[in-house]
Amino acid sequence: MYGLKTLTIAAPVCVWLILSSCSGNEATNSGSSPKAVFIPRKAEIIGVKHPKIPIEALKNGSGALDAKFEDIKAEFINVSCVNCHVNPGLNLELPPIKDSDGKKGPAYYLGGKAGTVFISNSKSFEQPSPAIAEAGLTSKFKQGEAIFEGNFVAAKNVPFGGLGPTYMKTSCIACHPGYGRARRTENFANEYGNGYIATVHNPDGSIAKGYTDMLQINAVKPYLPYAKGVKISWHNFVDKYGNRYPDGTPYNQGKKNEGILVYPSADIIEPLLPLPENYKVSIESTIGIYGTGLLDAIPDESIIEEYKRQQALAGPIKGVHGNWILDRKTGKKRLGKFTWHCSRATLDDGPGSNGIYNTTNVSRADKPDLYGTKEWIEKHKELGIDTSCLEKPQSPELSMEDFDNFMIWHRGLAVPAARNLDNPDVQKGRDIFYEIGCAGCHKPEWKTGYYNPFPPYSNQTIRPYTDMLMHDMGEENAGRFRTYRTPPLWGRGLMHKTAGHSDMFHDLRARDFEEAILWHFGEAEFAREIFRSLPKEKRDQLIEFLKAL
């Protein structure tokens, strides 16, 4: 097994590197000089020899003795702090890059042996996992894929029939180009490639009365959509450093968008129903589909264990788990872990199984009711549009055979193997990934439990680089909420090949890895700060590692 040298040699007690410049300063704990330092009382109580902290590191500048980790400004947190306040309890052992035969070792198998395919081209996210082929499910997988790619149409009792009465898109693939994540757009009406969903909500994030969770802007006549459209605007963002690294170079140096970061906002166009005075519209992007079956196989108790690890640490990372949600299939409560807000617990009740229904309003035996609201029905009655046929359970428009194949496809989409792990820059980047605290949320490794829906996915060691928990990403990223589930990083380096873009983050504000890191605020701002302070060579190495995933 490979050990991570920089971490395994780390001293058991943090050393605040920044204090080296303050080492001669004998300021008292309660001193107010900018150069004054203090040691947190709690460290002394528990007998930890804690390095001195400059007073100027405090957000409020007072109460130093009782200061907690969250009182420290992100820019004062450095790699030594990460060792004691982010990484403890994480498995820092790195899997071998080569196996005993000299072939590609476990480090490459991001989706475990059962779920990894070795492919690096435009079809990288579209492959059946080895377990699907071994189980003889390839044909059903392909039939399910046809459901994902097909266009639903308004007529009933025809192939792909049953679209509407309202809908967002006519197909699943419209929002998942290359089977991955959507790309950014200025035009919400774009059918293909644009994977934004819009929510109309109150300031607390609850959906505005009368609107559906996913705003529907299309309708089959004579019905009316909830709104005519969504206006997306993009705004420049300049951070407190003027979008420059400490070495003076601008962010995105040498790119078309040198020195520029942008983020979107949204508003509703011609809403059908009245809106509260303080309504907001937020947009969120689709998430990749590949590997979700393996994420589904992570035991709830393992996620809770990781949650407890984070909560127990005196540090910046405090992930929150999803709610316990009743699973209709088993009658048991399961932990929410899918979607940006962990609002879905299992894949069978997950974003895909709901998405094909919510997006198209195509009913099926287990989803017989209209995806709509009573306020929408009432509005139509008010306008003299007959809705009587919509107010009762709908006859199935998608057969359960088709849906079952769709779920085989969904569950069986493989994870592409990592690449170039023997490249020295990639290896250095991997070390930096741990050193600066990325692994605190982007938890590299999980072991799947027994997975009843598809037993071959049981007991797999997978490396998705997510903790399956939600984190506060700061006011800078506030949308419907400020918290977002840590997105997996596996396969991200292939986005450009699979879909011709590398747009990332909850609303696709990041155009590549560099921008994505620079949009880390809130709990993750410390990692952004350490990244900023790295020399360019090391920043590039970290990105090379991410590209290799």
Chain residues that interact with other proteins, rule: CB under 8 A: 119-123, 139, 142-143, 145-146, 150-151, 153-155, 158-160, 163, 170-171, 173-174, 177-178, 189, 191-193, 218, 220-221, 419, 496-497, 499-501
CB of 245 to other proteins, least distance (A): 24
Which is nearer to other proteins, 375 or 422 (by Cβ)? 422
Residues 422 and 97: beta-carbon distance below 8 Å: yes
CB of 22 to other proteins, least distance (A): 45
> Sign (positive/negative) of CA torsion 103, 105, 107, 109?
positive
Which is nearer to other proteins, 150 or 250 (by Cβ)? 150
CB of 400 to other proteins, least distance (A): 16
Q: Is 492 helix (H, G, I), strand (E, B) or coil?
A: helix
* Three-class HEC string of 423-448: CHHHHHHHHHHHHCCHHHCCCCCEEC
- For the chain, the residue count is 549
Q: Is 201 helix (H, G, I), strand (E, B) or coil?
A: strand
Q: How far apart are the first and last CA of the chain?
A: 20
Which is nearer to other proteins, 33 or 253 (by Cβ)? 253
CB of 507 to other proteins, least distance (A): 20
Beta bridge partners of 230: 268
DSSP code of residue 523: G
CB of 503 to other proteins, least distance (A): 12
Question: Whole-angstrom Cα distance, residue 17 to residue 209?
Answer: 52
Question: Whole-angstrom Cα distance, residue 148 to residue 151?
Answer: 9
Which is nearer to other proteins, 24 or 159 (by Cβ)? 159
CB of 120 to other proteins, least distance (A): 5
What's phi and psi for 161, nearest 5 deg?
Answer: -80, 165
Which is nearer to other proteins, 171 or 466 (by Cβ)? 171
Question: Whole-angstrom Cα distance, residue 433 to residue 440?
Answer: 10
CB of 177 to other proteins, least distance (A): 6
Which is nearer to other proteins, 120 or 243 (by Cβ)? 120
Q: How far is CA 61 from CA 31, 54, 263, 328, 525, in A?
A: 10, 10, 32, 52, 19
Q: How far is CA 404 from CA 142, 364, 401, in A?
A: 12, 11, 5
| Angle, in degrees to the nearest 10, between helices 400-412 and 351-360 | 130
| Closest C-alpha to 235, from 214, 264, 212 | 264
One-character DSSP codes across 373-389: -HHHHHHHHHTT---GG
CB of 333 to other proteins, least distance (A): 38
Which is nearer to other proteins, 11 or 155 (by Cβ)? 155
CB of 360 to other proteins, least distance (A): 12
CB of 133 to other proteins, least distance (A): 11
Find the helix or strand (DSSP H, E) in which 54 lies. strand 53-54
Which is nearer to other proteins, 119 or 478 (by Cβ)? 119
Question: Whole-angstrom Cα distance, residue 10 to residue 8?
Answer: 5
CB of 173 to other proteins, least distance (A): 7
CB of 358 to other proteins, least distance (A): 17
Question: Whole-angstrom Cα distance, residue 9 to residue 228?
Answer: 60
Structure tokens at 175: 């929002």
**Burial group, residue 265, by CB count within 10 angstroms (0-12, 13-18, 19+):** middle
Which pairing describes strands 280-284 and 53-54: parallel, antiparallel, or unpaired? Answer: unpaired
Which is nearer to other proteins, 116 or 218 (by Cβ)? 218
Which pairing describes strands 261-271 and 227-237: parallel, antiparallel, or unpaired? Answer: antiparallel
Please, what is the Cα angle at 182 between 203 and 281, to 5 degrees?
15
Mention every residue, 6+ apart, whose C-beta is less than 8 A from residue 427: 421, 545
Which is nearer to other proteins, 148 or 263 (by Cβ)? 148
CB of 221 to other proteins, least distance (A): 6
